Amino acid sequence: MEWDWNFVWEIMPTLIQGVKITILATLLGSVLAAIVGLGIALARRSPNRALSRTVGFLAEFIRGTPLLVQLYFIFYVLPDIGILLPPLVAGVIGLGLHYGTYTAEVYRAGIENVPRGQWEAAKACNLNARQTWTHIIIPQAIPPMIPALANYFIAMFKETPLLSAITVLELMNQAKSVANTYYRYIEPITLVGAFFLAISLCSVVLLRRLERRYGKIER
Amino acid sequence: MTQWSGYFGLILQGALVTIELTLMGSVLALFMAFLAGMGRLSRFFVLRALATVYIEFFRGTSIFVQLFFAYFVLPFAGISLTPLQAGVLALGLNVGAYAAEVVRGAIQSIGREQYEACTALNLGRLQGMRHVILPQALLVMLPTFGNNAIELLKATAVVSLISLTDLTFQAQVVRAQTGNTMVPFTTILIIYFILALLISWGVRSLERRMARGLDGVRV
């Protein structure tokens, strides 16, 4: 089979539609992952042993099992207990929870990277816990986290094709349906690869910039 | 009453396929990791360029797209692969690209003085690599390799989408035949988690064994 440029132009609008959903899912998933990760990191630091252990185990469990199976679980099993989610919402929740367990590690490393002396200094200045966090710890912990977080968001972007398995009409799904309609696989799937390569190369350039600006986190 | 024992046998068969894929994919990934990781450190520009293109390409595109490309597009180029071959190829090449960066980082993390010692002992480049640098670098690589192997295990779930009968695929079969979603998906989540625990336990004990006799050498 030959590469057909006319066909490429014909299917382009459909694929662009898919790219939009892919990017939307990545953005929403990233926001959720950032929040979930913070929650996990804080819960693991909690003096309440039961809470920190439980959250720790759940995070390990989510990180040790495939995202695809988790998506199936959210999309197919939860309706059994009365929680019916639209595909995109289920997908975003899956991405957010899965990557939240990774971003939790970033937060943990970021917080631990703030030298002990800063905590002691805050105490010496008679700051309470809230003031210590908002004025001393967080402003120093966040900047080095940014590149590491971005790294995981790029990884998440590359996992969004999994959402096609739970019927989200993102890039991969659009390409597959186009391919099945015209019985041509070369152009749609190659284009999907090209889109991913293009977007992730751009985001890698952005990541390098973030790293130069904020420094790399030591883990 | 559903015949759970028969269905459980089906899931176990799936587990065997998942394990087989993980092992074969890991071997290919390990091979590619050393090939490309060493390639990036080569004296020859062509080797460096080849390794860089391989690593950036496979890290830049989604494993999902690579799998579909291997399974649906390569046949048009005259390369027909069975689902298992396509799965091992995509998993191995993808994870190999990530692990190649680990190999490079670990070799570069070995101090200058070790290289100088090699020169002082009149060891050739290959001899120095083989007897001095790699034994120390391997220990640095191992923990990250363990994480990579778990990532590979999780990525194997994707092959169910190209009709390979792994754990996830069998769970779908059970779901279709029994109408029960909770039991099969919960079971495979637990099996995946146990497999991940096994990998991290295995890597940790391997690490302990390899660290023997290297006390005091590592900084």
Question: Does B134 reside within a domain?
Answer: yes
- pLDDT band of B216, cuts 50, 70, 90: low
Q: What is the DSSP string of chain B?
A: ---HHHHHHHHHHHHHHHHHHHHHHHHHHHHHHHHHHHHHT-SSHHHHHHHHHHHHHHHHS-HHHHHHIIIIIGGGGT----HHHHHHHHHHHHHHHHHHHHHHHHHHHS-HHHHHHHHHTT--HHHHIIIIIHHHHHHHHHHHHHHHHHHHHHHGGGGGGGT--SHHHHHHHHHHHH---HHHHHHHHHHHHHHHHHHHHHHHHHHHHHHTT-TTT--
> Would an 8 Å CB–CB cutoff place A151 in contact with chain B?
no
> Would an 8 Å CB–CB cutoff place A186 in contact with chain B?
yes
- pLDDT band of B61, cuts 50, 70, 90: confident
**Please, which residues have CB within 8 angstroms of residue A201's CB and are 6 or more apart in sequence?**
B56, B60
Question: Does B183 reside within a domain?
Answer: yes
Domain that holds residue B180: 12-211
**From its phi and psi, is residue B163 left (phi > 0), alpha (psi between -120 and 50) or beta?**
left
CATH of the domain at B128: 1.10.3720.10
Question: Does B48 reside within a domain?
Answer: yes
Rounded to an integer, the average pLDDT of B184-192 is 93
| pLDDT (tens digit per residue) in B29-59 | 999 999 999 999 888 999 999 999 999 899 8
In this prediction, residue B209 carries a pLDDT of 87
Residue A78, CA distances (Å) to A103, A145, B191, B204 in order: 25, 33, 20, 36
Distance from CA of B61 to the nearest CA of A (A): 5
- pLDDT band of B186, cuts 50, 70, 90: very high
**Interior angle at CA A67, CA A14 and CA B11, nearest 5:** 115
HSE-CB at A120 with a 13 A cutoff on CA atoms is 3
Residue in B56, B76, B171 nearest the CB of A1 = B76
Instruction: Kindly provide the ipTM of the predicted complex, given to two decimals.
Output: 0.82
Burial of B56: CB neighbours in 10 Å, binned 0-12, 13-18, 19+: middle
> Is the Cβ pair B193, A77 closer than 8 Å?
no
Q: Distance between CA atoms of B171 and A72, rounded to whole angstroms?
A: 10
Rounded to an integer, the average pLDDT of A52-68 is 93
Q: Distance between CA atoms of A75 and A73, rounded to whole angstroms?
A: 6
- Distance of alpha carbon A28 from its chain centroid, rounded? 9
Residue in A72, A158, A185 nearest the CB of B185 = A72
Rounded to an integer, the average pLDDT of A191-200 is 88
> Is the Cβ pair A196, B65 closer than 8 Å?
yes
Nearest to B185 by CA among B153, B157, B164: B157
Q: Which chain B residues are closer than 8 Å to A77 by Cβ?
A: 181-182, 185-186
> Would an 8 Å CB–CB cutoff place A202 in contact with chain B?
no
Distance from CA of A133 to the nearest CA of B (A): 32
> Is the Cβ pair B168, A67 closer than 8 Å?
no
The pTM for the full model equals 0.84
| Closest B-chain CA to A185 | B73
> Which residue, chain included where needed, has tokens 């046998």?
B9
Question: Does B72 reside within a domain?
Answer: yes
Residue A138 has pLDDT above 90, yes or no: no
- pLDDT band of A218, cuts 50, 70, 90: very low
Residue B219 has pLDDT above 70, yes or no: no
Average pLDDT, chain B: 89
| pLDDT (tens digit per residue) in B142-166 | 989 999 999 999 999 989 888 889 9
- Whether residue B196 contacts residue B146, with contact meaning beta carbons closer than 8 Å, is answered with no
How many domains are there within chain B?
A: 1
> Is the Cβ pair A197, B157 closer than 8 Å?
no
Highest mean pLDDT among A105-109, A138-142, B27-31, B159-163: B27-31
| Closest B-chain CA to A184 | B73
In this prediction, residue A86 carries a pLDDT of 93
Q: Distance between CA atoms of B45 and B40, rounded to whole angstroms?
A: 9
Rounded to an integer, the average pLDDT of A20-34 is 94
| pLDDT (tens digit per residue) in B18-30 | 999 999 999 999 9
- pLDDT band of A142, cuts 50, 70, 90: confident
CATH superfamily of A5-214: MetI-like (1.10.3720.10)
**What share of chain B in percent tops pLDDT 90?**
48
In this prediction, residue B5 carries a pLDDT of 80
Question: Does B37 reside within a domain?
Answer: yes
| Closest A-chain CA to B56 | A201
